[in-house]
Amino acid sequence: MNTPLPRWVVLWLALSTVVVIWDASFVLCRPLSFPGESLGFIWSFAYTIYLEVDHGYADLENQFVSSLGIISFVEAIVVAIALWAHTQAKHGLAHVLTLMATLSTGTKTVLFFLFELLSGTPSIGHNEWIPVIMFWIIPNGIWIVVPYLIVALTSRRLISATA
């Protein structure tokens, strides 16, 4: 395959991986990462509001959230290798790894949504609709839409290259 990843995909991978590592670090450092705690200054500007909306992130007994944090670190490693492959003009490898990582990201986020909804919304059910939409659905929804757009793009390219 001689086609590099599109610039917007590379940009998404780079920026989203920083956010993914930041978020996973918050989750795995709890309770030290909470606002007011010793490491809270790193995350407090974003998580002060989010913890009020999503009580699952504040629940130290919620091992589902911790598990997603661990998976996020694995995704970040795969993305780092994909970006390296892209810089080395190993376009086929970059596409395969990008497909793997973004499929994982999108699916993990769908699982996050489904788990909350099928459990009766224990983490977000205390909110009015506006905070849920602004601070839970939209931000988390981006982590479904964009990765699945990249999955579609890389899948088409890989299939075309093997046809």
Q: ω into residue 4 within 30 of 0, thus cis?
A: no
pLDDT in tens, the chain (163 residues): 889 999 999 999 999 999 999 999 999 999 999 999 999 999 988 888 899 999 999 999 989 999 999 999 999 999 999 999 999 999 999 999 999 999 999 999 999 999 999 999 999 999 999 999 999 999 999 999 999 999 999 999 999 998 7
Q: What pLDDT shows up at residue 1?
A: 80
Q: What pLDDT shows up at residue 91?
A: 96
Note whether residue 66 is domain-resident: yes
Note whether residue 2 is domain-resident: no
Q: What pLDDT shows up at residue 44?
A: 86
Note whether residue 125 is domain-resident: yes
Note whether residue 1 is domain-resident: no
**pLDDT tens by residue, 14-32:** 999 999 999 999 999 999 9
Q: What pLDDT shows up at residue 8?
A: 98
Note whether residue 143 is domain-resident: yes
Distance CA 87, CA 119 (A): 43
Q: Cα dist. 66→8, 59, 88, 116 in Å?
A: 30, 10, 34, 15
The CA-based angle 54-60-65, given to 5 degrees, is 60
Q: What pLDDT shows up at residue 162?
A: 87
Note whether residue 48 is domain-resident: yes
Note whether residue 77 is domain-resident: yes
Distance CA 20, CA 71 (A): 10
What mean pLDDT, rounded, does the chain reach?
94
Note whether residue 75 is domain-resident: yes
The number of distinct structural domains making up the chain is: 1
Distance CA 65, CA 23 (A): 11
Could you tell me the residue range of the domain that residue 146 belongs to?
A: 7-162
Q: What pLDDT shows up at residue 46?
A: 86
Q: What pLDDT shows up at residue 71?
A: 95
Q: What pLDDT shows up at residue 6?
A: 97
